[in-house]
């Protein structure tokens, strides 16, 4: 009988789910609104119903062996979502317990960057690697660490907040309440802020001068840079320089074999990778130079968040103690 | 029969060794010169002879079950010392193989800060903790990480070089070839440099104005500060501010339960702990605030390097797969 897992990615707007096999094939998928229901229980019921409907569509004999959930502020140890700023339900939501009760199968919850790291290990470019980092470049900057083959959770289940290391203590305001955090410079939002800073400081003409802050996207900045727009090019150089400088600090902490960049900004190819690698190497303690690869994620597609979430289940089951022969 | 281990700390001047039991009692100890012999093999022979003599002194029945070695640039995976700048023997020294051949027992090699971290876990203040960091404040700044109960070695066996994260890319020159590394500010040497910078920049009288750079020690600066010397007090405040700022970055990487400070500077008590904790908390992402303890090492005595090295053996044996019952 085929063993299948459910991967769920709870985003601020939509919740995407998929039924995934061990090889990473998504057999069936769909989504429900994250924002429609005022009460969490009503949202959960709509999600559970959608999943049961989805199970009906799978052909042949199979068994659903677990649910993996990636969500901002997901806590691996407690199986909860805690005070997520991007969701309307406040307080602590016991998500894993609810799934366990509803479907009688294990449920693993973690934050989206940790899910991306496990996804990279099980299905992506980190197959066989035991020490690596995944940096997710979306609205913010998330990070997930695998050390010695295990997801690094930390004491309180919140390890890997590299997006909130400091670039400049007197720098840009951050959602976390501090100033100058890495994600205010290196993320989809960060590069927009950099474009606007450059447009303010410099006189160069730029096709980006005609676009409002709200309308500006990473894709537009990338396309402008590819057309040679001087401000867009400078924005990528600046973003890569800061990312490289900070990755050098991450490298000397955990000595990874590779760092994978995931998400919109990482799709800009050489525009982001070249300055990142150059400045990482220049800022590394010489002992580490030339040892750490910076690579695009092997999961650059729409299904990546679902794969990442579903991979939590395989990772969990692989790490359970084997039954002992007495 | 009592099981005993050998702990060896290879310093630039002396090599200290001790025979240690599981409880951390040092039954016998001594030292040999690290610098006397031009050839490594002659040094090794003198050390092996000293150990055999030491074994004779132990009373009762016992078995030596392993050797642990802490040394700058010790590589855990390879059991080697590689290009250590503080030793006269160049190239790669296969230390673990040589001990194994000489005594027919396992030999574990790692750098001194990693040995300190394992020592803290086995004998010190980190008993029972699974996620913590040890910062050693000596001539430089070393760091050892334990994550999920395991020593963090990294892909190349060189994880934990927090001393070479950046405070200021245009700052003080560092032995590693870069500028502005943390250890140029926070270490026994770092605080001396800070005292000299303060004496250069300010007009305040200070009892430290009568002491040469070469003669100035952490102990003198501590004693001056305790007598209220304004420059010595400012040097501790500055050192703690920088250490706190950088520890905040380390915390968001690995989410530890506690950070232990070890070595000369950490003996200054509130002078160093107060500003360190204050600035760490102020620079932490709010999610982490109030969660991480900063504590003095539980191994603040002469035998600490020997205990740290010997603990590598217990840690190694504890983590071996248990024999399976078939």
The 10 Å CB-count burial string (b at 16+, else e) for A32-48 is bebeebeebeebbeebe
| ipTM (interface pTM) | 0.91
A57-74 pLDDT, tens digit per residue, is: 998 899 999 999 999 888
Instruction: Please give the Cα distance from A71 to A81 (Å, whole number).
Output: 7
pLDDT higher than 60, residue B326: no
Tell whether B250 lies on the interface with A, counting CB pairs under 8 A: yes
Q: How far is A139 from chain B (nearest CA, A)?
A: 17
A219-255 pLDDT, tens digit per residue, is: 999 999 999 999 999 999 999 999 999 999 999 999 9
At residue B322 the predicted structure's pLDDT band, cuts being 50, 70 and 90, is: low
Count of Cβ atoms closer than 10 Å to residue A130 Cβ: 15
Instruction: Please give the Cα distance from A233 to A248 (Å, whole number).
Output: 23
Contacts of B39 (CB under 8 A, 6+ apart): B89
Instruction: Please give the Cα distance from B146 to B122 (Å, whole number).
Output: 12
At residue B303 the predicted structure's pLDDT band, cuts being 50, 70 and 90, is: confident
Q: How far is A178 from chain B (nearest CA, A)?
A: 7
- Facing residue for B252 by CB, picked from A130, A147, A162: A162
Q: How far is A147 from chain B (nearest CA, A)?
A: 7
Position B82 scores a pLDDT of 82
A71-87 pLDDT, tens digit per residue, is: 988 888 999 988 776 77
What is the C-alpha R_g of chain B?
21
Between helices B270-283 and B230-254, what is the axis angle to 10°?
A: 40
Instruction: Please give the Cα distance from A6 to A30 (Å, whole number).
Output: 11
Q: How far is A210 from chain B (nearest CA, A)?
A: 36
What rounded mean pLDDT belongs to chain A? 93
Count of Cβ atoms closer than 10 Å to residue B87 Cβ: 19
Residues on chain A touching B256 (C-beta within 8 angstroms): 154-155
Count of Cβ atoms closer than 10 Å to residue A210 Cβ: 7
Residue of B nearest to A164 (CA): B285
Contact B178 A287 (CB under 8 A): no
Secondary structure letter of residue A17 according to DSSP: E
Number of inter-chain CB pairs under 8 A, A vs B? 143
Q: Where are the beta strands (DSSP E) in B72-147?
A: 74-75, 80-82, 92-93, 107-110, 132-137, 141-147
Residues on chain A touching B153 (C-beta within 8 angstroms): 148, 255
Tell whether A254 lies on the interface with B, counting CB pairs under 8 A: yes
- Give me the domains of chain B, ranges plus CATH numbers: 2-118+303-318 (3.30.420.40), 128-296 (3.30.420.40)
Count of Cβ atoms closer than 10 Å to residue B214 Cβ: 6
pLDDT higher than 60, residue B241: yes
Residues on chain A touching B178 (C-beta within 8 angstroms): 283, 285-286
Q: Token pair for residue B324?
A: 């399976």
Contact B288 A158 (CB under 8 A): yes
Least confident window among A123-132, A273-282, A300-309: A300-309
Count of Cβ atoms closer than 10 Å to residue A21 Cβ: 16
Tell whether A155 lies on the interface with B, counting CB pairs under 8 A: yes
Tell whether B198 lies on the interface with A, counting CB pairs under 8 A: no
Contacts of B4 (CB under 8 A, 6+ apart): B19, B20, B21, B27, B58, B62, B63, B64, B65
Tell whether B166 lies on the interface with A, counting CB pairs under 8 A: yes
């Amino acid at each position: 009988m085929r063993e299948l897992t459910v991967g769920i990615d709870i985003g601020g707007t939509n919740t995407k789910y998929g039924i995934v096999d061990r090889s990473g094939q998504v057999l069936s998928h769909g989504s429900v609104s994250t924002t429609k229901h005022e009460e969490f229980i009503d949202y959960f019921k709509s999600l559970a119903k959608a999943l049961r409907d989805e199970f009906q569509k799978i052909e042949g004999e199979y068994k659903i062996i677990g649910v993996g959930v990636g969500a901002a502020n997901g806590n691996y140890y407690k199986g909860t979502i805690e005070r997520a700023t991007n969701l309307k339900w406040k307080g602590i939501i016991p998500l894993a317990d609810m799934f366990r009760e509803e479907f009688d199968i294990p449920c693993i919850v973690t934050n989206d960057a940790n899910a991306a790291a496990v996804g990279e290990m099980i299905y992506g470019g980190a197959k066989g690697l035991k020490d690596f980092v995944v940096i997710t470049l979306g609205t913010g900057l998330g990070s997930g660490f695998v050390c010695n083959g295990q997801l690094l959770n930390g004491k309180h289940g919140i390890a890997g907040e590299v997006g909130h290391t400091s670039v400049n203590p007197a720098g840009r305001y951050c959602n976390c309440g501090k100033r100058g955090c890495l994600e205010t410079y290196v993320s989809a939002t960060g590069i927009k802020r950099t474009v606007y800073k450059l447009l303010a400081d410099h006189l160069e003409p730029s096709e980006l001068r005609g676009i409002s802050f709200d309308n500006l996207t990473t894709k537009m900045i990338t396309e402008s840079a590819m057309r040679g727009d001087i401000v867009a090019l400078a924005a990528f150089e600046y973003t890569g320089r800061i990312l490289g400088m900070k990755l050098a600090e991450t490298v000397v902490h955990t000595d990874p074999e590779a760092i994978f960049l995931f998400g919109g900004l990482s799709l800009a190819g050489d525009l982001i990778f070249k300055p990142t690698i150059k400045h990482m190497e220049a800022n590394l303690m010489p002992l580490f130079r030339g040892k750490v690869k910076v690579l695009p994620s092997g999961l650059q597609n729409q299904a990546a968040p679902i794969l990442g979430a579903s991979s939590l289940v395989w990772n969990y089951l692989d790490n359970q103690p084997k039954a002992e022969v007495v």
